[in-house]
Amino acid sequence: MANAVELTAPNGVKYSQPTGLFINNNFVPAQSGQTLETISPSDEKVITNVACANADDIDVAVEAARAALKSLEWKGISTSARGLLLFRLADLVERDRAILATIDAWDVGKPYTVAFEEDLGEVIQVFRYYAGFADKQFGQTIDTTPEKFAYTRHEPIGVCGQIIPWNYPVMMAAWKLGPALACGNTVVLKAAEQTPLSVLYLASLIKEAGFPAGVVNIVNGLGRVAGAAMTGHLGIDKIAFTGSTVAGREIMKASAINLKSITLETGGKSPLIVFDDAELDQAIKWTHVGIMSNMGQVCTSTSRVYVQESVYSKFVDGLKDYVQTATVIGDPFAEKTSHGPQVSKIQFDKILKYIEIGKSEGATLVAGGKRHGEKGFFIEPTIFSDSNDSMTIAREEVFGPFVVISPFKTEEEAVTRANDTQYGLGAAVFTQNIAKAHRVSAEIEAGMVWINSSNDSHYGIPFGGYKQSGIGRELGSYALSAYSQVKAVHVNLGTGKTDAQDSELQNVLRNVAPPRSPTLTYTTGLFMAIRSRSALRSSRLNTRPISHSVESEPLAALRVLGPVIDTPLTPIRRVAEGWFNSTVEAPGGKGTSPTYYRKTNQLRCFQKYRGATLGL
C-alpha cells in the first residue's frame, strides 16, 4: 500500500498502517510534504509519521467530496444500497477489531480490553444502527385543500466537515460518519493530530467496503491549520465538531461566513449528586466509573461530586478505598490493566498543574496527586475533598482522573450548585426516592441525566449538552436531523384558480373555527400578526400596495381570529375584519389613527413608529 508502513505493535500484532491523507479513495502525501509524529503515551516513543494537511490539501478533499455528492455512483444509488455499504463497513470493523483495538492501545493509551470490548463494540453497533436507518427516512404528505396537497423530502445537507477529538478516535468517527452517510452526504473528516492512526486504518476499510471515491475523505493535520481551513471553507455545508468549548466558539465564528449548519459537542464539568438515602456502594462504584473511565478523558466525566452531609465522610472514605482497589495502572496491553496513560505530554502536564492548584487553594488531597512510574504519561487517580465552588478545580474542566467532592445540606442547595456552571453536558443523581430522582433530574440544566448511574451511553439515545456544552445532538434518530434538510413540495391538481378567486372556498374558510385552546389561539394570533408586519415592511420597501404583499392575509386572519373574543386578541380581530371589509385602512395608510391600535394586557397590536406599524 502506497503511503503506508508495516508495523509490529507491542503485543506482537503486525499490520499495514496507512500514513497518507485519504482523498478520493487513495492515500496521498500532503502537498507540502509535511508530516506529524505520532507518539505512544505509554513509553513516549515515536510510532510513525503521518501526512500533515494544510489548506491546499483541504481544498482538494472538499473538491473530491463535492464531486462525489453529485455523482451517480453516490447520488444515484438507492437508500438501501447506502445502508448496505454501512453494513459492510461494520462487518469489516468486526473482522479487524483486534487490529483497531491494538492501534488505540498503542496510539491512545487505552487498555486493550477496553478498546476491544467497549470502543470497537460500539463502533460496530453504530454503523449497523445507521445502516438500518438509511432506507427509513420518510417524508409526509399533507392535504391543504381538495385540489392541493404537499409532500416533504429529506435531502442531504451536502459536504460535511467533521472534526473529531483524540480520546475516542474510531468511536467518534463512527458517531459522525454513520448518520452523515445514511442521509446521503459526503464527508471530509479531520482526525485528531494526537491520535490519527486508527482513523486512517478505518479509511482503508471504507474503501474496501465499496464506498465510491470522494464520499469519505479523511485528513490529518493541526487544528489551527487544517481544522481552520475546514471551518471557513465555502465548499463545506456543515461542520460537526467534538472538542473544547474554546475551539467550539472559534468554529462558530468561522462557520458564519456561509452560515454553515453546525453541531458542536464541547466541554463539561458535570455534577454527581449523592443524597443520604442513596445506596452508597452503588454511588461509589458509579462515581469511579463516571470520572476514572478512559483515564478521566471523557467530556461527560462527572468530576464534581456533591454528597449530603450525613453520609459525606463515609462516602469520601469509601471512594478512596474503591479507587485504590479497583484501579490497576500500567501497560495498556496487560490483561489486568484498567488505567493507562494520559494521551500526551500536554495533557499530562496540564493535570499535574491542576493538582498543584488544588493544593494551593486549600482542598484536601485524599488520594493520588502524582505521577505513576518514571516512563510514560501515567497519573494516579486523584481525589480532592472539602472543595468549594469558587475553587478553580471545581469550575474548570481538567480532563483527567481528577475529582472534587464537597458536602451539601438540602436538595435545593445541591441543584443550585450543580447548575452553577457555564457547562451543561451531563449530570448524575443518586437516591432511592423515585420522586426525588425525577424531580431533581428535571431541575438539572444538562442534556443528559443519569439516575443511579453515571456516563451510561447507548447509540440509540441522543447525546449532547445545554449551555456552553454544545449545539445539537449526536446518536439516536436525532442525529439524522442534523445531517438532512427538509424540502416541502407544493402540488396543485386544480383548475388554476387562486384561493382569493374561489368564493366558495372563502365562505368555507371563514366558518372554520380553530381549536379553542387559549394558548393555541393566542399563539396563532401572534403568528398572523408577525406575517402581517412582514408584509407591511415589504410593501414599504418595494413601494407597492400592501394588498400585493398581504394578498389573502386578511382572509386568513379572519379564519383564525374570527371566533376569538378573548380580550388580548380583540383589537387584532377588529383590524382583520376592517381589512377584509375595506372599512379600515391597512397600517400606515393615510388617516390611520395610532390610538385605534392601543395597548392591551398582553399584546401591543399597533404602535406609532414612522406611521402606524404592527409591533409585538
What residue segments make up the domains of the chain, in order of their start? 53-266+478-485, 271-457, 497-614
271-457, superfamily in CATH? Answer: Aldehyde Dehydrogenase; Chain A, domain 2 (3.40.309.10)
**In this predicted model, what pLDDT tens digit does every residue of 8-44 receive, in sequence order?**
999 999 999 999 999 999 999 999 999 999 999 999 9
Q: How many CB atoms lie within 10 A of CB 304?
A: 27
Return the pLDDT at 505: 52
Evaluated on CA atoms 291, 293, 296, 301, the torsion sign reads: negative
Model confidence over 303-346: pLDDT tens digits? 999 999 999 999 999 999 999 999 999 999 999 999 999 999 99
Over the stretch 141-195, which tens digit does the pLDDT of each residue have?
999 999 999 999 999 999 999 999 999 999 999 999 999 999 999 999 999 999 9
CA distance 313 to 308: 10
Kindly indicate the confidence band of residue 494, based on its pLDDT and cuts at 50, 70 and 90.
confident
| 56 vs 499, more confident | 56
Q: Give the separation between CA 182 and CA 484, rounded to whole angstroms.
A: 10
Q: What is the residue type of 196?
A: P
CA distance 561 to 526: 10
Residue type, 50: V
Residue 230 · residue 109 · CB < 8 Å: no
Is residue 364 within 8 Å of residue 384, measured between CB atoms?
A: yes
One-letter amino acid for residue 64 of the chain: A
Task: Look at residue 500 in the predicted model and tell me its pLDDT.
Answer: 56
**409 Cβ partners below 8 Å, 6+ apart?**
308, 309
Q: Which band of pLDDT confidence, cut at 50, 70 and 90, is reported for residue 571?
A: low
Q: Which residue has the cell 481544498?
A: 59
Average pLDDT of the chain is: 87
Buried b (16+ CB within 10 A) or exposed e, 413-435: ebbebbbebebbbbbbbbbeeee
- The yes-or-no verdict on residue 440 having pLDDT over 60 is yes
- 53-266+478-485 maps to which CATH number? 3.40.605.10
Beta strands 46-51 and 141-145 are unpaired
Give the rounded percent of residues in the chain with a pLDDT score beyond 90: 79
User: Which tens digits make up the pLDDT trace of 579-592?
Assistant: 555 555 544 444 44
Mean pLDDT over residues 353-379, rounded?
A: 98
Q: What is the pLDDT of residue 508?
A: 53
Cα–Cα dist 84/156, whole Å:
18
Residue positions annotated with a catalytic role = 265, 299
Give the pTM. Answer: 0.82
Cell 444515484: give the residue.
Answer: 76
Instruction: Quote the CA–CA distance of 403 and 302 in Å, as a whole number.
Output: 8
Q: What cell does 229 get?
A: 481551513
